[in-house]
Amino acid sequence: MFIRTDDVVVILSGDDKGKRGKVVRVLREADKVVVEGVNLVYKHMKPSKRNQQGGRLSKEMPVAVSNVALLDPSTGRPTRVGVRYTADGTKELYAKKSGSTLRVLAKANPKYATAK
pLDDT tens digits, 3-47: 999 999 999 999 999 999 999 999 999 999 999 999 999 999 999
Q: Are residues 92 and 42 in the same domain?
A: no
Taking a C-beta distance cutoff of 8 angstroms, is the pair 109, 91 a contact? yes
- Residue span of the structural domain in which 54 resides: 1-71
- What pLDDT does residue 54 have? 87
| The dihedral sign for the CA sequence 45, 47, 52, 55 | positive
Q: Are residues 56 and 102 in the same domain?
A: no
pTM, entire model: 0.82
Q: Are residues 57 and 79 in the same domain?
A: no
